Structure 1
Amino acid sequence: MKFNKIFIAAFLTAVSILNAQNKQVTLEEIWGGEFRQEYLQSLRSLNNGKEYAVRNYDRATGAMNVDVYSYETGEKTRTLISSANISNLDFFQDYTLSEDESKVLLSNNLKSIYRRSSVGDYYAYSFETKKIQKIAEQQIQEPTFSPDASKVAYVYKNNIYVKDLTSGETNQITTDGKENFIINGVTDWVYEEEFAFVRAFDWNKTGNKIAFLRFDETEVPEFSMDMYGTYGKQLYPTQSVFKYPKAGEKNSKVSLHLYDLQSGNTSKINLEKAYEYIPRIEWTNDENVLSVQAMNRHQNNLDLIFVDVEKNNQMVVLNETDEAYIDITNDLTFLNDNSFIWTSEKDGWNHIYHYNKKGKLLDQVTKGDWDVTHYYGFDPNTGRIYYQSTENGSINRDVFSIRANGKNKAQLTQKRGTNSADFSADFTYFINTYSSATTPNEYTLRLAKNGKNVREIKDNKALLNKLKPYNFSKKEFSTLSVNGNDLNMWIIKPKDFDSTKKYPLLMYQYSGPGSQSVSNTFNGSNDYWYQLLAQQGYIVACVDGRGTGYKGAKFKKVTQNELGKYEVEDQIEAAKILGARDYIDADRIGIWGWSFGGFMASNCIFQGNDTFSMAIAVAPVTSWRFYDSIYTERYMTTPQENASGYDDNSPINHVQGLKGDFLLVHGGGDDNVHVQNTMQMVEALIQANKQFDWAIYPDKNHGIYGGNTRLHLYTKMTNFIKENL
Structure 2
Amino acid sequence: MKLVYGLLALFLTASSVLTAQQKELTLEDIWNGTFRQERLESLQSLNNGKEYVVLNFDRESRTSSIDVFSYKTGKKTKTLLSSGDLEEIKYFQDFTFSDNESKIILVTDLEYIFRRSTRGIFYVYDVNTKSLQKISDQKIQEPTLSPNGEKVAYVHENNIYVKDLSSEEITQVTEDGEENKIINGVTDWVYEEEFSFVKAFEWNKTGEKIAFLKFDETEVPEFSMDVYGTELYPSKHTFKYPKAGEKNSEVSLHLYDVSENEISDVELGDYNDFYIPRIEWTNDANVLSAQVLNRHQNVLDLIFVDAETNEAEVVLNETDEAYVDVTDNLTFLQDNSFIWTSEKDGWNHIYHYSKTGKLINQVTEGNWEVTNYYGFDPKTKKIFYQSTENGSINRDVFSIGANGKNKKRLTDNTGQNSADFSADYTYFINTFTSATTPSEFTLHLAKNGKLVRKIQDNKALLEKIAEYKFTPKEFTTLPVNGNDLNMWMMKPPNFDESLEYPLFIVQYSGPGSQQVSNSFYSTNDYWFQMLANKGYVVVAIDPRGTGFKGSDFKKVTQNELGKYEVEDIIQAAKQLGAREYIDEENIGIWGWSYGGFMSSNALLKGNDTFKMAIAVAPVTSWRFYDSIYTERYMTTPQENPSGYDENSPLNHVEKLKGDYLIIHGSGDDNVHVQNTMRMVEALIQANKQFDWAIYPDGNHGIYGGNTRFHLFTLMTNFIEEHLIINPNTKSSL
Amino acid at match of 1:118: T
Q: Do residues 663 (structure 1) and 678 (structure 2) align?
A: no
In 1, Cα distance between equivalents of 2:398 and 2:145: 32
1:307-364 CA distances to partner (integer Å, 9 max, x unpaired)? Answer: 1021332211000000000111210000000000000000000000000000000010
In 2, Cα distance between equivalents of 1:33 and 1:113: 26
Amino acid at match of 2:237: S
- Residue 21 of structure 1 deviates from its aligned partner by 3.3
1:437-481 CA distances to partner (integer Å, 9 max, x unpaired)? Answer: 000001000000000000000000000000012130120000000
In 2, Cα distance between equivalents of 1:26 and 1:341: 48
Residue ranges of structure 1 left out of the alignment (5+ in a row): 1-16
Aligned counterpart in structure 2 of residue 324 of structure 1, from 322, 333, 349: 322
Alignment partner, residue 14 of structure 1: none
Alignment partner, residue 363 of structure 1: 361
Alignment partner, residue 552 of structure 1: 550
What are the within-5 Å matches in structure 2 for residues 76-87 of structure 1?
76-87=76-87
In 2, Cα distance between equivalents of 1:717 and 1:329: 38
SS of the residue aligned with 2:290? strand
SS of the residue aligned with 1:598? helix
- Residue 131 of structure 1 deviates from its aligned partner by 1.2
In 1, Cα distance between equivalents of 2:549 and 2:19: 43
Alignment partner, residue 231 of structure 2: 234
Alignment partner, residue 512 of structure 1: 510
Q: Do residues 463 (structure 1) and 464 (structure 2) align?
A: no
Alignment partner, residue 246 of structure 1: 243
Amino acid at match of 1:397: R
Q: Do residues 150 (structure 1) and 150 (structure 2) align?
A: yes
Q: Do residues 643 (structure 1) and 616 (structure 2) align?
A: no
* Cα pair 2:267 2:311 within 8 Å, conserved: no
- Residue 295 of structure 1 deviates from its aligned partner by 1.1
Q: Do residues 483 (structure 1) and 481 (structure 2) align?
A: yes
In 2, Cα distance between equivalents of 1:572 and 1:679: 26
Q: Do residues 421 (structure 1) and 427 (structure 2) align?
A: no
Amino acid at match of 1:710: R
In 2, Cα distance between equivalents of 1:177 and 1:39: 39
Amino acid at match of 2:400: I
1:274-301 CA distances to partner (integer Å, 9 max, x unpaired)? Answer: 1410000111001110001001000000
In 2, Cα distance between equivalents of 1:583 and 1:173: 68
Amino acid at match of 1:241: T
Alignment partner, residue 29 of structure 1: 29
Alignment partner, residue 126 of structure 1: 126
* Cα pair 1:202 1:282 within 8 Å, conserved: yes
* Cα pair 1:21 1:468 within 8 Å, conserved: no
SS of the residue aligned with 1:701? coil
SS of the residue aligned with 1:645? helix
In 2, Cα distance between equivalents of 1:37 and 1:638: 43
Alignment partner, residue 207 of structure 1: 207
Alignment partner, residue 703 of structure 1: 701
After superposing the two structures, state which structure 1 stretch, 680-689 or 273-282, moved more. 273-282
Amino acid at match of 1:322: D
- Residue 26 of structure 1 deviates from its aligned partner by 0.5
In 1, Cα distance between equivalents of 2:117 and 2:617: 21
Alignment partner, residue 575 of structure 2: 577
In 2, Cα distance between equivalents of 1:114 and 1:70: 37
Could you tell me the TM-score, scaled by structure 2's length?
A: 0.96
What are the within-5 Å matches in structure 2 for residues 217-228 of structure 1?
217-228=217-228
- Residue 20 of structure 1 deviates from its aligned partner by 5.5
- Residue 254 of structure 1 deviates from its aligned partner by 0.2
Amino acid at match of 2:303: I
In 1, Cα distance between equivalents of 2:347 and 2:88: 53
In 2, Cα distance between equivalents of 1:614 and 1:166: 64
* Cα pair 2:19 2:469 within 8 Å, conserved: no
Aligned counterpart in structure 1 of residue 392 of structure 2, from 394, 400, 406: 394
Aligned counterpart in structure 2 of residue 304 of structure 1, from 285, 302, 305: 302
1:645-676 CA distances to partner (integer Å, 9 max, x unpaired)? Answer: 00000000001110000000000000000000
Amino acid at match of 1:37: Q
* Cα pair 1:506 1:591 within 8 Å, conserved: yes
Percent identical among aligned pairs is 70
Alignment partner, residue 433 of structure 1: 431
* Cα pair 1:21 1:471 within 8 Å, conserved: no
1:509-566 CA distances to partner (integer Å, 9 max, x unpaired)? Answer: 0000000000000001111111111111100001100000000000000000000000
Alignment partner, residue 710 of structure 2: 712
Aligned counterpart in structure 1 of residue 283 of structure 2, from 271, 285, 297: 285
In 2, Cα distance between equivalents of 1:78 and 1:109: 26
SS of the residue aligned with 1:713? helix
SS of the residue aligned with 1:530? helix
SS of the residue aligned with 2:49? coil
Alignment partner, residue 3 of structure 1: none
Alignment partner, residue 190 of structure 1: 190
SS of the residue aligned with 1:597? helix
Could you tell me the TM-score, scaled by structure 1's length?
A: 0.97
Amino acid at match of 1:414: D
Higher RCO (CA-CA < 8 Å; seq separation 6+) = 2
* Cα pair 2:267 2:310 within 8 Å, conserved: no
In 2, Cα distance between equivalents of 1:548 and 1:61: 45
Alignment partner, residue 445 of structure 1: 443
Alignment partner, residue 107 of structure 2: 107
SS of the residue aligned with 1:646? helix
* Cα pair 1:530 1:540 within 8 Å, conserved: yes
Q: Aligned residues, how many?
A: 706
In 1, Cα distance between equivalents of 2:254 and 2:720: 58
Q: Do residues 259 (structure 1) and 252 (structure 2) align?
A: no
Alignment partner, residue 335 of structure 2: 337
Alignment partner, residue 172 of structure 1: 172
SS of the residue aligned with 1:590? strand
* Cα pair 1:20 1:469 within 8 Å, conserved: no
In 2, Cα distance between equivalents of 1:642 and 1:551: 27
In 2, Cα distance between equivalents of 1:494 and 1:384: 47
SS of the residue aligned with 1:495? coil
Alignment partner, residue 610 of structure 2: 612
* Cα pair 1:57 1:63 within 8 Å, conserved: yes
- Residue 688 of structure 1 deviates from its aligned partner by 0.3
1:202-222 CA distances to partner (integer Å, 9 max, x unpaired)? Answer: 000000000000000000000
Amino acid at match of 1:130: K
In 1, Cα distance between equivalents of 2:614 and 2:639: 32
In 2, Cα distance between equivalents of 1:141 and 1:284: 24
SS of the residue aligned with 1:235? coil
* Cα pair 2:25 2:469 within 8 Å, conserved: no
Aligned counterpart in structure 1 of residue 379 of structure 2, from 381, 391, 395: 381
- Residue 271 of structure 1 deviates from its aligned partner by 1.2
Alignment partner, residue 4 of structure 1: none
Amino acid at match of 1:717: M
- Residue 582 of structure 1 deviates from its aligned partner by 0.2
* Cα pair 1:595 1:673 within 8 Å, conserved: yes
Q: Do residues 137 (structure 1) and 137 (structure 2) align?
A: yes
- Residue 59 of structure 1 deviates from its aligned partner by 2.1
Amino acid at match of 1:46: L
SS of the residue aligned with 1:556? helix
